Amino acid sequence: MTSEANEVAAGSPRYRRLFGWFLILVCILLIFWGYNKILPVERIDQARWGSAENAERYFSRPIPTAQDIESYLLNATILISHPPGGNAVYYFDAPYHFLKWRNFNLPTEDVLEGTWSIDWHLLPMELNGRWRVALEYVICTRSLDSLPADVPFCRSVETLSPMLRFGLNPEYRVGNVFNLSTNGSVPFPLPNRTPISIDGLLAMEKARSER
């Protein structure tokens, strides 16, 4: 056996030990990284859901995928009616970008730009001794009126109808219903003290154009 072979044979246990420590370090990093991705166990109570059938339906519900969410939001208008806190209209004009027509009891109205992203977590669920670990997605939005500005507003996507629990009485419609644009101008003053709807705003827009 040559001297080079002897060196490799003598050194191989050391390399194996280093490789083992490397694998242990990787496992530790994965554990700490994934810890925040795992939610507390949701134990489904039949009394809360009113019946065994409702509890089973919630436990077995299909959860939207990231692709489902992206397809749903592309070229979509979502209206939020939440008086007296304010009303708002979102238009998702491009992947991971949206426009927001707002009037949250502010002295001025404008159209803001914002971005959104998709994250995920694991949701362990238990119902009558049966277990399910669901991969649930989260949508996070950022815009200039976010408070604080450097912290995204995130919510879990449990269903696409109504989408994301954006607010009270959300409405969804495909397309840029109110022709919002990045120039910041508003189509007309957005009511903020009374409930609104997409059809109601379209009727207001038509009435203003006929004057």
What pLDDT, in 10s, does the model give residues 58-87?
999 999 999 999 998 889 999 988 777 678
Q: Which residue has the tokens 């004009």?
A: 93
| Cβ neighbour number for residue 80 with a 10 Å cutoff | 19
**Cα–Cα distance for residue pair 12/5, rounded to 1 Å:** 11
CA distances from residue 14 to 11, 17, 26, 206 in whole angstroms, order as listed? 5, 5, 18, 79
The candidate with the shortest Cα–Cα distance to 198, out of 101, 53, 66, is: 101
The candidate with the shortest Cα–Cα distance to 83, out of 189, 192, 167, is: 192
pLDDT tens-place values along the chain, 211 residues long: 444 444 344 445 666 566 556 656 655 555 555 556 788 889 998 888 889 999 999 999 999 999 999 998 889 999 988 777 678 899 998 789 999 887 655 555 678 888 999 998 888 899 999 999 899 999 888 877 665 666 677 888 888 865 544 545 688 999 999 999 887 777 788 887 788 899 999 998 888 887 7
pTM, two decimal places:
0.71
For the chain, the domains span 1-35, 46-209
